[in-house]
Structure 1
Amino acid sequence: MTTSRTDRTMTYFVLAVFSVFSLVPLLGVLSSAFGKSGQGAGGGVAWPSDGLHWSNFAKAWTQGHFSTYLGNSAVVAVTVVVVAAVLATMAAYAFGVMRFPGSTALFYLFVLGLTLPAESFVIPLYFDLRALNLTDSLWGMILPQTAQSLAFGVFWMRTYFRNSVGSVIEAARIDGVRSWGILWRVLVPMGRPAITTMLVVTFMWTWNEFLLALVMISDDAHRTVPLGLAFFQGAHSSDNALLSAACVLIALPVVIVYVILQRSFIAGMLSGAVKE
Structure 2
Amino acid sequence: MSRRGETVLNYAVLTLFAVLAVFPVLGVVFSAVTPPAQSSPSFTVPHSLYLGNFATAWQQGHFGTYLRSSLLVAVVTVLLTSVLAILAGYSFATFRFPGRGVLFAVTLVGLMVPAEAFVIPLYFDLRGVGVTDTYWALILPQTAQSLGFGVFWMRNFFRSVPSSIVEAAQLDGAPDFTRLWRILVPIGRPALLTMAMLVFMWTWNEFLLPLVMVTSDGLRTAPLGLTFFQGQHTTQFSLLAAASMVVALPVVLLYMFLQRHFIRGMLAGALRD
Q: After TM superposition, list the pairs within 5 Å mapping 1:42-191 onto structure 2.
A: 42-44=41-43, 46-49=44-47, 51-191=48-188
Structure 2 contact 38–46 (Cα < 8 Å) conserved: no
1:193 pairs with 2:190: yes
Structure 1 contact 193–272 (Cα < 8 Å) conserved: no
Q: What's the CA shift for 1:39?
A: 5.7
Counterpart AA for 1:252:
L
1:205 pairs with 2:202: yes
Q: What's the CA shift for 1:38?
A: 5.7
Query: Deviation string for 1:233-274 (max 9, x for gaps)?
Result: 000001000000000000000000000001111111111398
> Unpaired segments of 5 or more residues in structure 2?
none
Structure 2 contact 76–139 (Cα < 8 Å) conserved: yes
1:22, 1:59 → 2: CA distance? 28
Counterpart AA for 1:138:
Y
The secondary structure found in structure 2 opposite 1:271 is helix
Counterpart AA for 2:82:
A
The secondary structure found in structure 2 opposite 1:47 is coil
Q: What's the CA shift for 1:176?
A: 0.8
Q: Which residue of 1 aligns with 2:240?
A: 243
Counterpart AA for 1:48:
P
Q: Which residue of 1 aligns with 2:24?
A: 25
For normalisation by structure 2, the TM-score amounts to 0.96
Distance change (3 Å), C-alpha of 1:273 and 1:230: closer
The secondary structure found in structure 2 opposite 1:269 is helix
Structure 1 contact 197–268 (Cα < 8 Å) conserved: yes
Higher mean alpha-carbon deviation, 109-118 vs 264-273, is at 264-273
Select the structure that is richer in helix: 2
1:220, 1:86 → 2: CA distance? 30
Structure 1 contact 73–225 (Cα < 8 Å) conserved: yes
2:205, 2:145 → 1: CA distance? 14
Q: Which residue of 1 aligns with 2:222?
A: 225
Q: What's the CA shift for 1:120?
A: 0.6
Corresponding pairs, count? 271
Q: What's the CA shift for 1:116?
A: 0.6
2:271, 2:244 → 1: CA distance? 39
Counterpart AA for 1:141:
L
Q: What's the CA shift for 1:37?
A: 2.0
Counterpart AA for 2:100:
S
Q: What's the CA shift for 1:4?
A: 3.2
Structure 2 contact 30–45 (Cα < 8 Å) conserved: yes
Higher mean alpha-carbon deviation, 68-77 vs 181-190, is at 181-190
Structure 2 contact 226–243 (Cα < 8 Å) conserved: yes
CA RMSD of aligned residues (A): 1.5
Counterpart AA for 1:113:
G
> Unpaired segments of 5 or more residues in structure 1?
none
Counterpart AA for 1:103:
R
Structure 2 contact 31–39 (Cα < 8 Å) conserved: no
1:186, 1:273 → 2: CA distance? 23
Structure 2 contact 138–209 (Cα < 8 Å) conserved: yes
1:41, 1:99 → 2: CA distance? 62
1:43, 1:149 → 2: CA distance? 37
2:193, 2:92 → 1: CA distance? 20
